Amino acid sequence: MYKKITEQDIKVFKDIFGDNNCFVGDEIASEYAKDEIGTIVSFPEVRVIAKDKYQVSKLMAYAYNENIPVTVRGAGTGLVGGAVPVLGGVLLDVTGMDKIIELDHINMTLRVEPGVLMLDIYEEVLKNNLFYGPDPGEKTATIGGTISTNAGGMRAIKYGTTREWVRGLEVVLPNGELITVGGKVVKNSSGYPLKEMFIGTEGTLGIIVEATLKLTSLPKYSTSLLVPFKETSAAVKAAALLIEKHVTPTAVEYVNQPSLKYSKEFLGKHMPHDNYDAYLLLSYDGTSKEALANDINIASELCMEYGAIDVYLIDTEERNSSVWTIRGAFLEAIKASTPLMDELDVVVPRNTIPEYLEYTEHVSKQLNMRMPFFGHVGDGNLHIYFCKDDMEEEVFAEKLKKAFDLMYDKAFSFGGLVSGEHGVGYAKKEYLARQIGPTQLELMKGIKKLFDPKNILNPDKIV
């Protein structure tokens, strides 16, 4: 179906990217055949590192004519195989496009190349007393990757997901043409929302080569609360009630004893007050100390009213860093506790979380499989892990399929969706089709065909 890459093609790639930025065969390290979850493995025929958008445009014009598949890769921290070149071809690494181009104080925008890391964006805006809202857990992800997956993270409950923070994009289309969608403007009612098409579509419709991000003024004051509860259901019910009472935190994370244990083993550190079974970890921010203190007081009173055992104020830099470092390490700590795992990044209406988590425990017992979980309970987004432990590979594969089927069917019956923030990629295609049904699937396929008639850009993903 696709052309196999020849010596002549490699010569062309070396002309575009330079000999030092073009890797073939054994020169390609195994990390480029997978992403962070590691369950989907496929080597590209060639890996190239782009330094600017014109190289990307030249590559795509050539690949389009020659019918060669191209998959874009940011930092490879994705969890659904989105950046894995499952049909071979070229892996286009954009981490070399890492310039912060312009911070515009009047329009409050930041223009960046796609390979800029999130940690560099946070540092840049903070030193200018400004703020970028999305806060996905992995700070070494690229901005291009987070836009392409519409990444969420801890602050989504208050500040929304990446989509709400992208004002404009420059994109290379599958045929090599360069277009600009949106810009520095705040409002836009100008025709079909093409910019939106490149956000959350995982590099299947175009390659983001520049982004203009919205910034706001920095919420100067912030504090966290660590709130232990007797059991999971009390904690997650309290999270929904806090939001109902309009004391919306910046983050509402559910933390339980098993995740704390894995994290302690992984980091060798422990969190203060870590002897309870279930917690809410709340954070609040604001532009004045008084407003923040008011929110904290109301939230603390409400938590006690909703069954909290206590409310601990995490108000020193040391305590704050300890608690959030431990929370931030959950995924890697669970990964380190088993030779192989897979992940469910499901999102359900927040009022159904208690019942969904009860069901999770039921499935774990039914399948006799360890299924640790944690989640952004404020926005209904749960991360549930299926651990292989010492199971035989075939047994694990069978149980994994059953677990995904059961957990997704339950989520869909509650009005939930396949992915809250990690995307569909390659791993969740089957379940997207099941969730949206044939009419929407055909619409999505039609959109893909319009942007990419030869199906060369990140093929075999999403639809």
Ligand X SMILES: Cc1cc2nc3c(=O)[nH]c(=O)nc-3n(C[C@H](O)[C@H](O)[C@H](O)COP(=O)(O)OP(=O)(O)OC[C@H]3O[C@@H](n4cnc5c(N)ncnc54)[C@H](O)[C@@H]3O)c2cc1C
Note the residues at the interface with ligand X (CB under 6 A): 35-36, 71-79, 82-83, 94, 114, 136-138, 141-142, 144-146, 148-149, 151-153, 202-203, 207-208, 331-332, 421-422, 425, 458
**Angle, helices 393-413/429-451, rounded to nearest 10 degrees:** 70
- Choose between 8 and 30: whose C-beta lies nearer to ligand X: 30
Is residue 203 classed as helix, strand or coil in its secondary structure? Answer: coil
Q: Least distance (Å) from ligand X to the CB of residue 160?
A: 12
* Dihedral sign (CA 212, 216, 222, 226): negative
Alpha-carbon distance of 364 to 374, in angstroms, equals 15
DSSP code string of 412-441? HHTT-BS-SSS--TTTTHHHHHHHHHHHHH
The total of other beta-carbon atoms located within 10 Å of residue 300's CB is 19
Closest residue to bound ligand X by CB: 145
Q: Least distance (Å) from ligand X to the CB of residue 94?
A: 5
Q: Least distance (Å) from ligand X to the CB of residue 136?
A: 3
- Which phi and psi angles does 56 have, rounded to 5°? -60, -45
**Angle, helices 53-66/7-17, rounded to nearest 10 degrees:** 160
Interstrand relation of 90-93 and 46-49 (parallel, antiparallel or unpaired): parallel
Helices (H) and strands (E) in the chain, counts: 14, 18
- Choose between 75 and 407: whose C-beta lies nearer to ligand X: 75
- Choose between 380 and 425: whose C-beta lies nearer to ligand X: 425
Residues 6+ apart with CB under 8 A from 173: 60, 179, 206, 451, 452
Q: What amino acid occupies position 44?
A: P
Q: Least distance (Å) from ligand X to the CB of residue 271?
A: 18
- Choose between 174 and 228: whose C-beta lies nearer to ligand X: 174
Q: Least distance (Å) from ligand X to the CB of residue 392?
A: 27
- Choose between 34 and 237: whose C-beta lies nearer to ligand X: 34
Q: Least distance (Å) from ligand X to the CB of residue 170?
A: 10
For residues 162 and 134, is the Cβ–Cβ distance under 8 A? yes
Is residue 161 classed as helix, strand or coil in its secondary structure? Answer: coil
Q: Least distance (Å) from ligand X to the CB of residue 429?
A: 12
**Tokens read off for 361:** 């425990």
- Choose between 145 and 228: whose C-beta lies nearer to ligand X: 145
Q: Least distance (Å) from ligand X to the CB of residue 83?
A: 4
- Choose between 276 and 451: whose C-beta lies nearer to ligand X: 451
- Choose between 119 and 395: whose C-beta lies nearer to ligand X: 119
- Choose between 82 and 219: whose C-beta lies nearer to ligand X: 82
Alpha-carbon distance of 160 to 192, in angstroms, equals 22
Q: Where do the DSSP E strands lie in 268-318?
A: 278-286, 312-314
Q: Least distance (Å) from ligand X to the CB of residue 35?
A: 5
For residues 417 and 428, is the Cβ–Cβ distance under 8 A? no
